């Protein structure tokens, strides 16, 4: 026996049996129910059977009919083989094959002619199969491979395509029906020969009763069950996600996703109905991604409004499409500024026209607000303050954080990104943005949400501190915002959420990403063709859909909100500057700060200036007289703010002019040349008298500026006047000096072609 066993093992090693059935790919939901099925490479429906698919009733029915000694033999039933051999010899033809279930699996895996030689090989392969697989695994293979009509193989395939249900919920009558067909797949065709199938089914049901396999009551009920079935299409739910997973996991037959069927179906219907209402505005598509923040699982994935609508790009996956993010990256930007200690929520920023080395952003509504707080700038999605903050914290820092959050397009184009990144000057996907916002629900730690069950959890990446994230969450959960939809019903009993909208340049993409402790929901609305629409905006178009989805998946939720950490404190700040108050700061507010991180700047929005008794003349340290001079506080405005005051004709307190008799230069802030931009290159038509504009920004004490072209005085003007000149060809030096002796230079290159 030992020698025989050694021989078997040696032959098995030298001549291994290849078991590689090519199954249909099945995409399952979070409850293990079928969402989507794909044909196998041979265009057959061959759905793999799992252990839970084989119920006790199904196993008893199959084993009684096909191989009653299956659990006891080693792949071959010697008694059945001997009996079949003698019957075939006596009859002179094959009357019985004596095939066990294991032998049938071999034949189904590798079909061959029915000869004695092939039968012997089949027996040997059956022994090999038993050596490497358990009885349960072999039974699963059998149930997965048995033939039905046309291109349908496997009991699971037949169960879904004819009965529209999974095998574990089949009735006894349905089980017996699917058990008997594989022996006669040509004559017993479901949907074609139902009457004949019922007749054969009932015959077998009575045999089961006689053998005591099933009780008389079970058989009686099964005999009365009608058979009115026809072939149906395979399930095709969550098509975008299913196709994506099928492509990325081609060798995996069963894909267990985290998709919640009801959430998926409700969200799909909401998106479809919503986009239908938008079609009159020529807005034809939308995409939605839902992440469960407590499990980091993707529970709904809607790539387009209607997968079957081919004329509007319904089969394009909007969750993976690279689009411009608009203002949706601003929360991360401000969070980084909080972590750098540069700003706190009530710190002051300037929202005035600003030229950032040739980059001149505008606000979405083309309105400037002057001096604003950081929280106002973020809640109202102002552009100039955002660019100013990015300039302060540096673009590389922002890019590095986005790399950590796995923004693939930003990784590829990192070296090309500049200040426009703050306003959406990059490519992102809805999946990347939604995962980024989910990190705000996790204290600033980024963990990419998973599609499939049992995926190894990724290592968290710290994007923001818990404290900075709390500031962002607090600001984004304010409801007194311009991006709140006009219709109040959108907020009725809706769970508390933080959200941010975004609209790309040209109004091609509308975004709204929202989150709370339970969920993060990402919404994109637009056209896959890239067509811009005047009415498209994140606030008015994407946010209503975001609210609808939250009302559906988290209706009337009592989820806890985010609480501040022990490192967050409260302190008084000056309302004018957002800095720690000085003795002259009469208007003070309470602001959050991060202990040991946030700045400790003292307010300097006022400065004491020596003036004469009538306050008509200012003295510097070199010319202040021994008597008759008094100190008075004057606002210290930045040049760009003064320029905006002048442009908007806003009254502000000016410093008096400097003592003209003083020969010393009063070193105030030098002028800032806005136009032409330093380093700019202009190509002009020599046949046309093209002029360039001269424009500057100065401090509030400046009354007059002097413009120089190549060190020659060109014109004397007020600081707010726009002056024009015709530049010479070549390298041109532009200089601007104020009436206090401060000056600035700008170099440009002019080509006349």
Measured CA to CA, the distance from residue 454 to residue 646 in angstroms comes to 63
Q: Quick one: pLDDT at residue 669? A: 67
Examine the pLDDT at 667 and tell me if it is beyond 60: no
Distance of CA 177 to the CA centre of its chain: 46
Residue 89: pLDDT band with limits 50, 70, 90: low
Domains 2-22+35-224 and 672-752 share a fold: no
CA-wise closest residue to 494 among 472, 479, 473: 479
Examine the pLDDT at 564 and tell me if it is beyond 80: yes
Q: Which range (151-160, 271-280, 406-415, 486-495) has the least confidence? A: 486-495
Beta-carbon count within 10 A of 324 CB? 19
pLDDT: is 44 or 78 the higher one? 44
**Beta strand ranges found along 387-540 (DSSP E):** 445-446, 461-462, 498-503, 509-515, 519-526
Examine the pLDDT at 405 and tell me if it is beyond 60: yes
Q: Which CATH superfamily is domain 672-752 in?
A: Immunoglobulins (2.60.40.10)
Residue 60: pLDDT band with limits 50, 70, 90: very high
Examine the pLDDT at 533 and tell me if it is beyond 90: yes
- Segment 618-641, tens digit of pLDDT: 887 778 888 888 988 888 887 778
Place of tokens 């075939």: 88
- Segment 582-592, tens digit of pLDDT: 888 989 999 99
- Residue 347 per-residue DSSP state: -
Q: Quick one: pLDDT at residue 364? A: 83
Residue 490: pLDDT band with limits 50, 70, 90: low
Distance of CA 82 to the CA centre of its chain: 64
Alpha helices, DSSP H, located in 155-296: 155-158, 172-180, 194-211, 216-224, 239-248, 261-278
For residues 133-155, average pLDDT: 93
Structure tokens that stand for 327 in this block: 């203002």
Examine the pLDDT at 119 and tell me if it is beyond 60: yes
Q: Which range (278-282, 525-529, 558-562) has the least confidence? A: 558-562
Q: Quick one: pLDDT at residue 53? A: 92
300 close to 404: Cβ distance less than 8 angstroms: no
pLDDT: is 326 or 484 the higher one? 326
Examine the pLDDT at 486 and tell me if it is beyond 70: no
Q: Quick one: pLDDT at residue 78? A: 80
- Residue 541 per-residue DSSP state: I
Examine the pLDDT at 643 and tell me if it is beyond 70: yes
Q: Which CATH superfamily is domain 330-553 in?
A: DD-peptidase/beta-lactamase superfamily (3.40.710.10)
Arithmetic mean of pLDDT over the chain: 89
pLDDT: is 401 or 728 the higher one? 401
Q: Quick one: pLDDT at residue 616? A: 87
pLDDT: is 680 or 208 the higher one? 208
**Element at 109 (helix H, strand E):** helix 101-109
Residue 691: pLDDT band with limits 50, 70, 90: confident
Most confident of 131-145, 670-684, 697-711: 131-145
Q: Quick one: pLDDT at residue 683? A: 81
Q: Quick one: pLDDT at residue 62? A: 95
What would be the CATH architecture of the domain defined by 2-22+35-224? Orthogonal Bundle (1.10)
693 close to 748: Cβ distance less than 8 angstroms: no
Q: Quick one: pLDDT at residue 386? A: 96
Q: Name the β-bridge partners of 588.
A: 574
Q: Quick one: pLDDT at residue 86? A: 67
Examine the pLDDT at 164 and tell me if it is beyond 90: yes
For residues 50-70, average pLDDT: 93
Beta-carbon count within 10 A of 89 CB? 9
Q: Quick one: pLDDT at residue 336? A: 97
Examine the pLDDT at 245 and tell me if it is beyond 70: yes
Q: Quick one: pLDDT at residue 94? A: 54
Measured CA to CA, the distance from residue 58 to residue 175 in angstroms comes to 6
For the beta sheet containing 730-738, the strands, ordered from the edge strand earlier in sequence to the opposite edge, are 681-684, 743-752, 730-738, 705-709, 712-717
Q: What is the CA radius of gyration of the chain?
A: 38
pLDDT: is 726 or 247 the higher one? 247
pLDDT: is 131 or 47 the higher one? 47
Alpha helices, DSSP H, located in 595-749: 639-648
Q: Where are the domains of the chain?
A: 2-22+35-224, 330-553, 672-752
Q: Quick one: pLDDT at residue 482? A: 66
213 close to 205: Cβ distance less than 8 angstroms: no
Examine the pLDDT at 11 and tell me if it is beyond 90: no
CA distances from 44 to 21, 24, 239, 275 (A): 12, 7, 19, 36
Structure tokens that stand for 173 in this block: 């009558």
pLDDT: is 691 or 323 the higher one? 323
Q: Quick one: pLDDT at residue 657? A: 81
CA atoms within a 13 Å half-sphere pointing along the CA-CB vector of 637: 25
For residues 734-739, average pLDDT: 89
């Amino acid at each position: 026996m030992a020698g025989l066993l050694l021989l078997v093992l040696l032959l098995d090693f030298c001549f291994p049996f290849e078991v590689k059935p090519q199954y249909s790919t099945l995409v399952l939901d979070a409850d293990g129910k079928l969402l989507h099925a794909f044909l196998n490479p041979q265009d057959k429906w061959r759905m793999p059977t799992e252990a839970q698919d084989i119920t006790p009733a199904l196993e008893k029915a199959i084993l009684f009919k096909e191989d009653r000694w299956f659990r006891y033999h080693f792949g071959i039933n010697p008694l059945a083989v001997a009996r079949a051999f003698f019957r075939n010899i006596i009859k002179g033809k094959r009357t019985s094959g004596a095939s066990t279930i294991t032998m049938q699996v071999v034949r189904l895996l590798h079909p061959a002619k029915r000869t004695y030689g092939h039968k012997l090989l089949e027996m040997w392969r059956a022994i090999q199969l038993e050596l490497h697989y358990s009885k349960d695994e072999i039974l699963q293979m059998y149930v997965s491979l048995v033939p039905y009509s046309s291109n349908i193989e496997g009991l699971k395939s037949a169960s879904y395509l004819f009965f529209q249900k999974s095998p574990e919920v089949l009735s006894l009558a349905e089980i017996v029906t699917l058990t008997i067909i594989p022996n006669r797949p040509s004559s017993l065709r479901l949907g074609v020969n139902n009457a004949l199938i019922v007749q054969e089914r009932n015959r077998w049901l009575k045999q089961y009763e006689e053998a005591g396999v099933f009780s008389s009551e079970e058989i009686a009920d099964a005999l009365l069950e009608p058979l009115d079935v026809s072939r149906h299409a395979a399930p095709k739910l969550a098509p975008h996600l299913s196709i994506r997973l099928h492509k990325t996991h081609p060798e995996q037959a069963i894909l267990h996703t985290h998709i919640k069927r009801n959430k998926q179906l409700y969200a799909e219907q909401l998106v479809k109905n919503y986009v239908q209402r938008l079609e009159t505005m020529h807005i034809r598509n939308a995409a939605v991604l839902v992440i469960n923040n407590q499990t980091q699982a993707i529970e709904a994935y809607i790539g387009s409004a209607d997968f079957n609508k081919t004329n509007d790009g319904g089969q394009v996956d909007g969750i993976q499409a690279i689009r411009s993010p608009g203002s949706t990256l601003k929360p991360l930007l401000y969070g980084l500024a909080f972590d750098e200690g540069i700003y706190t929520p009530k710190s002051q920023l300037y929202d005035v026209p600003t030229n950032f080395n040739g980059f001149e952003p505008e606000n979405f509504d083309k309105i400037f607000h002057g001096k604003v707080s950081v929280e106002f700038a973020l809640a109202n999605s102002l552009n100039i303050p955002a660019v100013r903050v990015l300039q302060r914290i540096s673009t590389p820092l922002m890019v590095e954080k986005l790399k950590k959050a796995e923004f693939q397009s930003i990784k590829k184009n990192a070296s090309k990104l500049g200040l426009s990144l703050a306003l959406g000057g990059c490519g992102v996907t809805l999946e990347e943005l939604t995962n980024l916002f989910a990190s705000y629900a996790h204290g600033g730690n980024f963990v990419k949400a998973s599609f499939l069950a049992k995926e190894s959890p990724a290592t968290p990446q710290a994007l923001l501190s818990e404290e900075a994230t709390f500031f962002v969450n607090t600001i984004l959960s304010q409801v007194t915002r311009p991006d709140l939809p006009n219709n109040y019903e959108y907020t009725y009993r809706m769970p508390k959420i933080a959200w941010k909208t975004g609209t790309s340049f040209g109004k091609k993409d509308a975004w709204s990403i929202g989150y709370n402790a339970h969920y993060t929901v990402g919404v994109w609305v637009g056209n896959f063709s890239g067509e811009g629409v005047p009415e498209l905006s994140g606030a008015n178009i994407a946010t209503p859909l975001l609210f609808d989805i939250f009302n559906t998946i988290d209706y009337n939720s009592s989820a806890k909100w985010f609480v501040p950490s022990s490192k967050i404190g409260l302190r008084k700040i000056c309302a004018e500057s957002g800095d720690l108050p000085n003795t002259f700061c009469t208007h003070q507010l309470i602001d959050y700060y991060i202990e040991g991180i946030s700045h400790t700047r003292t307010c300097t929005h006022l400065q004491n200036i020596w003036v004469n008794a009538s306050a008509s003349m200012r003295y510097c340290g070199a010319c202040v007289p021994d008597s008759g001079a008094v100190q008075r506080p004057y606002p210290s405005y930045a040049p760009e703010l003064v320029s905006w005051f002048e442009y908007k004709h806003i009254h502000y307190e000016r410093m008096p002019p400097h003592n003209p008799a003083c020969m010393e230069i009063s070193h105030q802030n030098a002028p800032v040349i806005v136009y032409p931009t330093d380093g700019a290159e202009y190509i002009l038509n020599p046949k046309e008298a093209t002029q360039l504009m001269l424009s500057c920004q100065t401090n509030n004490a400046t009354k007059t500026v002097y413009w120089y072209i190549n060190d020659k005085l060109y014109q004397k003007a007020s600081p707010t006047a726009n002056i024009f000149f015709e530049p010479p060809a070549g390298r041109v030096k532009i200089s601007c000096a104020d009436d206090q002796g401060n000056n600035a230079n700008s170099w440009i290159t002019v080509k006349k072609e």
